[in-house]
Structure 1
Amino acid sequence: MTDRRRTYIDIHVLQTVPPSNLNRDDAGSPKQAIYGGARRLRVSSQAWKRATRLAFKDELGIPASQLGTRTKRVSTMLAARLAERARLTAEDATRLSNALLAADLKVAAGKKAEESAYLLFFGRSQLDAIVDLVADRATELTALADDALTKAVAELPVRAQLTGKHPIDVALFGRMVADIPALNVDAATQVAHALSVHPVEIEFDYYTAVDDEKSREEDAGAAMIGTVEFTSATLYRFATLDVHHLAENLDNDIDATIDAVRAFLRAFVTSMPTGHQNTFAHRTVPSVVSYMVRTDQPVNLVSAFENPVRSKYGIAAQAALNLAKEVNRTSTSFGLTPMTVSTVWDPTSLDVIGSEQDRGHVAEATQAFGSACGLDESIDATIAAVRPRLDGSAALR
């Protein structure tokens, strides 16, 4: 029997992007990695997580006050709330804010607004909870000298306000503060680096810009010249969501958990990093999106592309077939069979594959992916499979 308390949603995406530079390195080149002995295009997990996090907020459609923000300007934000709520001057609000955060976030105490030592992901409502600790005696506290103020607020449970009642996005994406493990929030989701399923070559776009106000009598040269690196690729993207861990981070609020799951399933699929977006207009939609609910462990299926795809019939179609074969291999060889699978795909897209042997495997793709669904239908089916397990009404499998 599988523990009912383990439920993962794996998201597998195949997506083709045109000439673009989604995520560049320190030299301006598209990020790359060697995999299967071949150079691949890579989009870092951080880049796609940020794009997903921004799209996730839009999908939830709830006020910003109920969500998190990531910044070093925690003290500045807290000071603004203290000034408004306790009617303090800006200088007094800053002193009190810095004193409250000095111990936990290493904000320098004093009159000048300082940044925290960490880029902290926290909820705006958590700042309001800190204000609640001192709002009734803020004037009294700010009348104290710096040393006395620091001592007076030292015993207040400031850290406790940052370690409970997390907003949905913090509960999902987590938080890490290396020096203060007590402030860490283990993420409920993991996102892999996206890799091209085939070898890539980096190309250069040489461009020029003309001065519109230059007369015909002047030289015909360009006012500016430059180059930008780019490549195009079919990417394999993978993320997994630990549904029960998300529920724990949200204090077992089932409705909030389901809202977060639904928003994440769509946001990860539809989001896109914005590197050089105006230059390349690279936003596309995936050719395959497969949601797999598992009760054993997450399974990244990137091994389907360890042998780089090279096909005269189209990279995306062959990649879809390879992905389906890997689904079936992991199920047969390792017993890692998904509880449910719901896939956005087009079975007729495999018709372009000319090999008679591969044509015989179209049924194998259908076995792995199931019937074709729309995105909304796939998300609904995945939620329907997951919710009973959160409610506790599903039998052990």
Structure 2
Amino acid sequence: MSVDQQPPRAYVDVHILQTVPPANLNRDDQGNPKAAVYGGVRRSRVSSQAWKRATRMHFAEHRPAEDHGIRTRTVAADLAERLRRLPAVPDAETDAQAAERLAGALLAPLGIKAGKKEGETAYLFFYGDRQLDALAALVADHAAEFLALDDKALAAEVGTLGVPDVFGIEHPLDVALFGRMVADLAALRVDAATQVAHALSTHAVDLEFDYFTAVDDETHKRNETGAGMIGNIGFNSATLYRYATVGLHQLHRNLSAGRPADAAWPATVAGVRDFVTSFARSVPAGYKNSFAHRTLPSLVAVTVRTDQPVNLVSAFEAPVTDKTHGIAAASATRLASEHTKVCELWGDPPAFQAVVHAFDVKSVADGVADAFGPARNFGALLDGLEEHLDGAHRAVAA
């Protein structure tokens, strides 16, 4: 694939069914689990933002620290800390202001507005650890000369360094996937390669409350009774339908910036594999110590489409009520039927599809197999996806 050649338009759709026990994964402004009305009934809901963050935290646990993306208001403080480690900038406490001054000058060309608190930006800025190291490296050999300039001369010198270009290349995977929106400078924007839907329960859900008391361990020594603290926590339990899609062409475009052409495609395929892995295995951490709600999906289906992404949530517009083999099993049957129906009605079958699931009821397993193919384990699903993407790439390159 040449430097200018992009892979053909393709979308990697991820469909997940996951049953969560009593939990409060993602709370609303009242502290209760988020909800939505869909199909005329109340559903459990987990926002896309919550699961994106959970996915990013899974990245952080399984990828090298230098490949991490960082989303923060304190980019100036982070840069100043790096600058203080430069040989040309003394790291004594009295010289902290020098590093902060140089950091402020380096970030000024980005045009990011200052926040209400000193040293913070007006909004969260998303960047890569390597990108901030590259920015510090721009002045590594001349930090002392830069610091000797007055503010006007320092700004002029920094303006020649191409600071915005640093944040336009070498994007970490999470920035390439989830994008970066910067209102103040269009050149800093990165179009997201991934869309993540709000997770919805496949069935109607009621809000419940856990009334709890906390006992003061010392009260018995004083012959006292009563609780040390009383409260309640809202919770629910649900089988969730989760959906996300990755635009393969956009991810490749984002990861190509500043990388050798021959390295962009392997990074793209590895990025898709990492995303599917982390999206499937991650769970938002709300009240995790109170509910220990972490589970693995009952079903993960991956399809590669060349027409458009297709969210199959319409399978659950009528809430699932069949409990013959459990809500999750009935949901899997609904999902398989909806996928088959979409392919038949629109005549756009996926270029690739694979599924892993935990259902051993023959009628359920057969329905899923008819729709998505024979069941595999998760590693085989990922290997098959990677093999398909590489094969499609070789066909284009040829």
Per the normalisation by structure 1, the TM-score is: 0.90
Aligned partner of 2:347 among 319, 335, 354? 335
Aligned partner of 1:266 among 263, 277, 281? 277
Q: Note if 1:28 corresponds to 2:31.
A: yes
Q: Note if 1:256 corresponds to 2:264.
A: no
CA distance in 2 between counterparts of 1:275 and 1:232 reads 14
1:136 Cα deviation after fit: 2.6
Aligned partner of 1:182 among 171, 180, 187? 187
Q: Which runs of 5+ in 2 are unaligned?
A: 1-5, 90-94
Distance 1:144 1:342, change over 3 A: same
Distance 1:53 1:239, change over 3 A: same
Q: Is the 8 A contact 1:68 1:169 kept in 2?
A: yes
1:235 Cα deviation after fit: 0.2
Q: Which residue of structure 1 aligns with residue 331 of structure 2?
A: 319
CA distance in 2 between counterparts of 1:70 and 1:105 reads 17
The 3-state SS of whatever aligns with 1:136 is coil
Q: Which residue of structure 1 aligns with residue 92 of structure 2?
A: none
1:13-45 per-position Cα deviation (integer Å, ceiling 9, x unaligned):
001111100000111010011111111110000
1:92-136 per-position Cα deviation (integer Å, ceiling 9, x unaligned):
11111101212314366xxx9711223111112212222232223
CA distance in 2 between counterparts of 1:242 and 1:229 reads 37
Q: Which residue of structure 2 aligns with residue 383 of structure 1?
A: 386
1:216 Cα deviation after fit: 6.1
Residue type of the alignment partner of 1:190: Q
> Taking every aligned residue pair, what percent have the same amino acid on both sides?
50
1:155-189 per-position Cα deviation (integer Å, ceiling 9, x unaligned):
33111111112122221222111232221111111
Distance 1:12 1:325, change over 3 A: same
1:22-79 per-position Cα deviation (integer Å, ceiling 9, x unaligned):
00011101001111111111000000000011112333x32x1232211111111211
Q: Which residue of structure 1 aligns with residue 82 of structure 2?
A: 81
CA distance in 2 between counterparts of 1:161 and 1:5 reads 28
Q: Is the 8 A contact 2:67 2:172 kept in 1?
A: yes
Aligned partner of 1:281 among 279, 292, 296? 292
Q: Which residue of structure 2 aligns with residue 299 of structure 1?
A: 310
Q: Is the 8 A contact 1:347 1:372 kept in 2?
A: no
1:392 Cα deviation after fit: 4.3
Aligned partner of 2:105 among 85, 95, 99? 99
- Mapping of 1:30-179 within 5 angstroms? 30-59=33-62, 61-62=63-64, 64-88=65-89, 89-106=95-112, 114-179=119-184
Distance 1:135 1:394, change over 3 A: closer
CA distance in 1 between counterparts of 2:365 and 2:50 reads 34
Q: Is the 8 A contact 1:86 1:139 kept in 2?
A: no
CA distance in 2 between counterparts of 1:282 and 1:161 reads 41
Q: Which residue of structure 2 aligns with residue 13 of structure 1?
A: 16
CA distance in 2 between counterparts of 1:383 and 1:8 reads 14
Residue type of the alignment partner of 1:85: L
Aligned length: 380
Q: Is the 8 A contact 1:194 1:236 kept in 2?
A: yes
Deviates more, 1:232-241 or 1:82-91: 82-91
Q: Which residue of structure 2 aligns with residue 354 of structure 1?
A: none
1:217 Cα deviation after fit: 6.0
1:370 Cα deviation after fit: 1.3
1:243 Cα deviation after fit: 1.7
- Mapping of 1:229-248 within 5 angstroms? 229-248=234-253
The 3-state SS of whatever aligns with 2:126 is strand
Distance 1:149 1:235, change over 3 A: same
